[in-house]
Amino acid sequence: MVTLAAKAHAWLRVSDIEMAATTPSYTVDTLDRLATQGVSLGALYVVTGADAFAGILSWKDADRLLTRCHFVVVSRPGHPAPALRLALPTLAVRMRNPGEDDQQVQPSIFLVDAPTAPVSSTEVRAVASAGSSLEGLVPTTVAEYIERNDLYRGVA
């Protein structure tokens, strides 16, 4: 489904590296696996919501994680990305606006304050389970895949 969603954007690349993991998948471990495969982590941008990033300091090996790649943090309903400067003052010096010069501090944390839909995977599963339309919640190709494969039916 990620591949279907990403097809609309030629600049996105989808990786199935976490599919082979036999243990819980932590971001820092995924970066280790990517580095082992020769990926330049300095050129990598991890995209996450501001709601999730607010807890970054509790993530596994957060200090090491934050020194390996860039983060792009996007506002979520009720969680504006710019508010992270105050919420995470120890990281504020590394926070940048999109397009801002990031040559002084690497890797950077780019704060994207843009409207995002108030949708979650939990909501998508609930709507699909009820047999309701997924229009506006997921790309059409993903909605068609969910329906065609009868995913989430009867899932509470």
Tell me: the pLDDT tens digits for 89-138? 999 999 998 877 656 557 899 999 988 877 888 888 888 898 889 988 89
Average pLDDT of the chain?
89
Spans of all domains in the chain: 2-112, 117-156
Instruction: Output the pTM of the full model.
Output: 0.81
In whole angstroms, what is the distance from residue 100 CA to residue 110 CA?
Answer: 9
Phi-psi region of 83 (alpha: psi -120 to 50; beta: other; left: phi over 0): alpha
Q: Are 97 and 110 in contact (CB under 8 A)?
A: yes
Give which of 105, 113, 118, 116 is closest to 83, Cα–Cα: 113
Question: Which CATH number is 2-112 given?
Answer: 3.40.50.620
Average pLDDT over residues 15-28: 86
User: In sequence order, which residues have a C-beta less than 8 Å from that of residue 128 and are 6 or more positions away?
Assistant: 134, 146, 147, 151, 152, 153, 155
Q: Higher model confidence: residue 19 or residue 60?
A: 60
Of 61-70, 73-82, 98-107, least confident by mean pLDDT is 98-107
